[in-house]
Structure 1
């Protein structure tokens, strides 16, 4: 892979080399700092490293599977040894990719993965989870995540909903959140990831993260800076970063929803996440009304009262746990 290189020749100049260096028992804090600089130098570097890391995980998983099968099988006869060596060759080639670095070989430690732990919230509920490494997750309503600790990374899979991660710094194991076709990589930072409308929105509050996708048309990774967010769809195409208001972005973690000139359609979509009773609009034109206000998450009564008093909208039940909003006939 052709990638950008750091200025110092003592550091690896490839994704394979960096993975081997980071997994080495001799890896130092200086190495980790140089690695972060190398990632930031080029979006291609981040993509290459993500691919090499993925191959390493697959090779490790295959190695564990073959070891289990070997333990369960009776000792093989000598005449079958040639065939067994041939069968093992693909794994050897995969492992060899991970060993080349700076004119030498680094011995990779065994690939070990802890069992995944799932955390979930019901509709209308929120939850704070302190992870074993000291990181903190805040799960919004109707959210499901799976947390896995691996030797080379801490991984959180967001399966639905929204999560805020306050990441404890660990240079040896980056913190990676996966959502759809994308990966959000951080070392020590504060950020949010939300799955909505078939896509994902990533918002950075502190530190820095690198957002990359496996099969996006743009074919590159993007580094976010504090108070920026971007979105990507199910096809993996990355959108452009845009500025955010921290008070608005972080408000849901305190059980509030802050809206500043928000489209009514978007406001209702946010509120509907917190209740089994769903608000709907009688006409699409109402969705373009701009609304500002501060509401308690899930407090539909206060929202409906504000819309009636400030915007002249009325609400009526229409069956099927739905409440329709329409313009007043007065």
Structure 2
């Protein structure tokens, strides 16, 4: 597929609409080889916006690797078909990432059904009313779908919410004492171990409120952090930066702007092979780049080389330190 940028004069298509169309195309491709007419239509569709090809690759990854998986991990089955060169060239990176992460699955989320992802798993589910939730590693959500409100309880981890428009029923994500309200938008919510809640808006507008405090409106490109003590920090970012922060959906981790210590902690969210850093000065060194979530050792080796450090294997992971222990 030939990828082009979306002309600035065109109305920007929502991520939810793109992913819905991508799922439809992937389902059709999964039933058998596309006809020449269908292949041409798929090419034309993907050429309009680079996001479409990425969404199609992720949908193919889910179909090819875990279409028959209802329980994560142990029930993994190999792909049912061999992918053509065109699909491999377009979505190969996403497919590899999906298989390495361990679980990218699609299903329908029922009322009050508790959905859990284990360490290293990523899973996408759909609500019966049309919204979709993509759960990051070690995440727990539970929907409470009422007549006047669609409430999602996030008790652990991080999730991306692609919300179907329904003005008659509010869509609210509750993470600890923080409520995030949205109507027809796309955003992530992360509940950290220290009680801090991070919200990043990909599309549309959301309102964030802690307890009985005032509601703060965020729009696409805004990222906000609400500390356990109520302190709020908001920053305005480019949409490309917001998207890079969601690279975990494709099995990747964007470390731009992080310290080595922060990067090691992020990798720790996805694998039980820790990256250990004993020297505080080393932990404060800056890193950059995009890495595979399933390869913390590879990241540690690359980071050590670029920073003039060395790695030492441990019983369960790897340690990064100064050369010769200096």
Normalising by structure 2, report the TM-score.
0.62
CA distance in 2, matches of 1:274, 1:210: 29
- State which of 272, 287, 295 in structure 2 corresponds to 1:291: 287
Aligned to 1:210: 207
Q: CA deviation at 1:158?
A: 0.7
CA distance in 2, matches of 1:212, 1:231: 11
- State which of 222, 246, 249 in structure 2 corresponds to 1:250: 246
Q: Does 1:145 align with 2:141?
A: yes
SS in 2 for 1:253: helix
Aligned to 2:312: 316
Question: Which runs of 5 or more residues in structure 2 are unaligned?
Answer: 1-109
Q: Does 1:326 align with 2:298?
A: no
Give yes or no for contact 2:200–2:224 (8 Å, CA) kept in 1: yes
> Stretches of 4+ moved more than 4 A in 1?
none
Q: CA deviation at 1:318?
A: 4.3
Give yes or no for contact 2:273–2:296 (8 Å, CA) kept in 1: no
Q: Does 1:226 align with 2:220?
A: yes
- State which of 125, 130, 150 in structure 2 corresponds to 1:129: 125
Q: CA deviation at 1:287?
A: 1.7
CA distance in 2, matches of 1:237, 1:176: 21
Larger Rg: 1
- State which of 270, 275, 284 in structure 2 corresponds to 1:274: 270
CA distance in 2, matches of 1:200, 1:207: 19
Q: Cα 1:190–1:144, aligned 2, differ >3 Å: closer, same or farther?
A: same
CA distance in 2, matches of 1:326, 1:272: 18
Instruction: Note the 1:124-203 alignment, pairs <5 A.
Output: 124-196=120-192, 197-203=194-200
Instruction: Note the 1:18-57 alignment, pairs <5 A.
Output: none
CA distance in 2, matches of 1:239, 1:170: 30
Give yes or no for contact 1:213–1:238 (8 Å, CA) kept in 2: no
Give yes or no for contact 1:182–1:236 (8 Å, CA) kept in 2: no
Instruction: Note the 1:52-63 alignment, pairs <5 A.
Output: none
CA distance in 2, matches of 1:248, 1:314: 28
Aligned to 2:299: 303
SS in 2 for 1:212: strand
CA distance in 2, matches of 1:240, 1:291: 23
Give yes or no for contact 2:187–2:202 (8 Å, CA) kept in 1: yes
CA distance in 2, matches of 1:240, 1:290: 22
CA distance in 1, matches of 2:222, 2:245: 10
Deviations 1:89-110 (A, max 9, x none): xxxxxxxxxxxxxxxxxxxxxx
Deviations 1:178-214 (A, max 9, x none): 1111100001000000111321100001000000011
Question: Which runs of 5 or more residues in structure 1 are unaligned?
Answer: 1-113
Instruction: Note the 1:86-97 alignment, pairs <5 A.
Output: none
CA distance in 2, matches of 1:237, 1:305: 37
Give yes or no for contact 2:201–2:222 (8 Å, CA) kept in 1: yes
RMSD of aligned alpha carbons:
1.8
